[in-house]
Structure 1
Amino acid sequence: MQPKNLKRLIYHVIVGGFAILLLYPVFWLVMSSFKLSERIFVTADQLIPDPFVFSNYAQGWEGFGDYGFGTFITNTAIFVVLVLIGHLISCSLIAFGFARLNFAGRNFWFAIMIMTLMLPYEVVMIPQYIIFAQLEWLNSLKPLVVPAYFGHPFFIFLLVQFIRTIPRELDEAAIIDGSNIFGIYYRIILPLIVPALATTAIFTFYWTWDNLLGPVLYLNSPSKYTVSMALNMFLSNETVSNWGAMFAMSVVSLVPVFIIFFIFQRYVVEGISTSGLKG
């Protein structure tokens, strides 16, 4: 075997080994969802279920009380779409302002925005809760959705870096043709930052779909619960936890995540790599 082919073989073996190592928990979750609840942890070292049962999926899909698991998926989908629209609109506009417009204190406000990335959510959690309680927004999606329309520092920074790679000559040509600032944003910038917008959309989807702390803080009615809250309800400190149903619905909740990733993974790589070309 030639040295070049040997190196390629070693590379693929190492990468394949890491892939198996990383995917093993997911595979264990899927296999455990077909086990009897009382045998999941007793036979944790046994991947193949014995016996092989499907009742966990039926029990999990029934949900709780009058609300099936489909209701929680619908609530989460609405939540994700509203936050996604807010992030795409607000973050792209703010990033365009920082990257293309000259205004007093631009660097200062950009630095302040970046500094907010270092603030843990626990620092602002209580002040935000007090504000939303005074606005009487509790037990609704407003506290979870409205902040998304004021930008997210991580995505703003990502989009700013991407926009800075776009030549300013395109803006000048648009101005010569009679375009205004919003025309440059809509006709020039937006079409060219699609990979970065796709990256923003994908990460927003992941973080919002898995969000548990926010819905737990602001949602009280079971009819408004999200998938993450519904999964948490399968666990109980007073009675026996239904691990089988929880694992089964965890697998169901992972399906949209995997679909989105495999469809748009090219945009994730392109958006992140291109955003770092120019500071």
Structure 2
Amino acid sequence: MNTKQKKLTKKVVQHVLLSLFTLIMLYPLLWMVGSSFKESSEVFVKAYQLFPDEWKFSNYSEGWRGFAGISFSTFYKNTFIIVILATVGSILSSTVIAYGFARINFRFKKMWFAIMMGTMMLPFEMTMIPQYVMFNYFGWVDTYLPLVLPTFFGVPFFIFLILQFMRTIPKELDQAARIDGCNTVSIFTRIIVPLVVPAMMTSAIFSFYWRWDDFMAPLLYLQTPTKYPVSLALKLFSDPEAVTNWGAMFAMTTLSLLPIMIIFFIFQRYIVDGISTSGLKG
């Protein structure tokens, strides 16, 4: 076997292995989509069967009707309100804070930065009870304020991500802008923000994912079903005291993935640009 044949064989083996690995990773997703078209009684009885013998498209209409007179259009509306407000708040505040750490000198700057980074290591379970007690004291329980308002004070991971990107921007641009008469705010809005758009978009995508999938925080703070997001509404499909409509639940679960997939495929190039922190491009 010559060198050319060896390279060809190696590529074929690599593609076969990658295809098998991809199929293994996608199998749970394919099983869920297939189950969304099955009768509820067949979902687990014929779990080995990827797709149903008879396709039940009515699962989607049944699922969309929701329960207790609340349709999934209400749950989707609630989710978009939470996600959009939280994403806008986290990106705007994190960008401003990152600019302060990157370009402004102030007392105890390193200490505050270390404290900010240290908060990234705190698990949610550690802050869950103190936060609930505080928000309950404020009277914010059963409102969207605990889910949205804290994001307007910065998200440590996004601050760090945007800060790392800002550090690749030459400070000579700031000095040139000051010579032209720009102040700190003008430099931030006219020079820095346009250059850190990839990092901001990456943070926005991550924020959208995390808020869309968030289950624990809405479970803690929301008590009225008409205010529930999609993540909580899907859980209500499963009732241990009654017959669960598994087909409708999987149908709504499949639909809940569409916004995330659309966002990813539209803005995926920003993820690479933002994480790589490649800085200025000529």
Partner SS for 1:238: coil
* Residues 29, 65 of structure 1: alpha-carbon distance in 2 compared, 3 angstrom cutoff: same
* Pair 1:233-2:240 in alignment: no
Q: Which residue of the partner structure matches residue 58 of structure 1?
A: 61
* Pair 1:153-2:153 in alignment: no
Q: Which residue of the partner structure matches residue 226 of structure 2?
A: 223
- Cα offset for 1:5? 4.2
Question: Aligned partners of 2:260 and 2:146: how far apart in 1?
Answer: 24
Q: Which residue of the partner structure matches residue 260 of structure 2?
A: 257
Q: Which residue of the partner structure matches residue 34 of structure 1?
A: 37
| Partners of 2:75 and 2:233 within 8 A in 1 | yes
Question: Aligned partners of 1:10 and 1:98: how far apart in 2?
Answer: 49
| Partners of 1:159 and 1:197 within 8 A in 2 | yes
Question: Aligned partners of 1:193 and 1:132: how far apart in 2?
Answer: 33
Over the matched positions of the two proteins, sequence identity in percent amounts to 55
Partner SS for 2:241: coil
| More moved, 234-243 vs 156-165 | 234-243
* Residues 250, 153 of structure 1: alpha-carbon distance in 2 compared, 3 angstrom cutoff: same
Q: Which residue of the partner structure matches residue 142 of structure 1?
A: 145
Structure 1 gaps, min length 5: none
Q: Which residue of the partner structure matches residue 111 of structure 1?
A: 114
- Cα offset for 1:2? 4.4
Question: Aligned partners of 1:64 and 1:189: how far apart in 2?
Answer: 48
* Pair 1:121-2:124 in alignment: yes
- Cα offset for 1:4? 4.2
| Partners of 2:36 and 2:250 within 8 A in 1 | yes
Partner SS for 2:277: helix
Question: Aligned partners of 2:234 and 2:179: how far apart in 1?
Answer: 56
Question: Aligned partners of 1:194 and 1:13: how far apart in 2?
Answer: 38
| Partners of 1:196 and 1:275 within 8 A in 2 | no
- Cα offset for 1:105? 1.1
Q: How many pairs does the alignment contain?
A: 277
Partner SS for 1:205: helix
* Residues 9, 167 of structure 1: alpha-carbon distance in 2 compared, 3 angstrom cutoff: farther
Residue in structure 1 matching 2:101, options 75, 98, 102: 98
**Counterpart AA for 2:28:** P
Question: Aligned partners of 1:276 and 1:235: how far apart in 2?
Answer: 48
Structure 2 gaps, min length 5: none
Question: Aligned partners of 1:107 and 1:53: how far apart in 2?
Answer: 60
- Cα offset for 1:276? 10
| Partners of 2:168 and 2:279 within 8 A in 1 | no
Question: Aligned partners of 1:83 and 1:163: how far apart in 2?
Answer: 23
Partner SS for 1:223: helix
Q: Which residue of the partner structure matches residue 83 of structure 1?
A: 86
- Cα offset for 1:10? 3.5
Question: Aligned partners of 2:6 and 2:195: how far apart in 1?
Answer: 42
* Residues 164, 198 of structure 1: alpha-carbon distance in 2 compared, 3 angstrom cutoff: same
Partner SS for 2:276: helix
* Residues 274, 6 of structure 1: alpha-carbon distance in 2 compared, 3 angstrom cutoff: farther
| Partners of 1:161 and 1:275 within 8 A in 2 | no
Question: Aligned partners of 1:82 and 1:49: how far apart in 2?
Answer: 40
Question: Aligned partners of 1:148 and 1:46: how far apart in 2?
Answer: 44
| Partners of 2:91 and 2:204 within 8 A in 1 | yes
- Cα offset for 1:20? 1.7
Question: TM-score when scaled to structure 2?
Answer: 0.94
Q: Which residue of the partner structure matches residue 217 of structure 2?
A: 214
Question: TM-score when scaled to structure 1?
Answer: 0.95
Q: Which deviations, in whole Å up to 9, do the C-alpha atoms of 1:104-142 show, x marking residues without a partner?
A: 111111111111111011111111111111111111100
- Cα offset for 1:240? 1.6
- Cα offset for 1:147? 0.2
| Partners of 2:169 and 2:279 within 8 A in 1 | no
When the two chains are superposed, the root-mean-square deviation of aligned CA atoms in Å is 1.6
Residue in structure 2 matching 1:187, options 179, 186, 190: 190
Question: Aligned partners of 2:278 and 2:32: how far apart in 1?
Answer: 35
Q: Which deviations, in whole Å up to 9, do the C-alpha atoms of 1:56-102 show, x marking residues without a partner?
A: 11111001122100110011001111001101110000011111111
- Cα offset for 1:8? 3.7
**Counterpart AA for 1:86:** G
Partner SS for 2:120: helix
- Cα offset for 1:17? 2.5
Q: Which residue of the partner structure matches residue 48 of structure 1?
A: 51
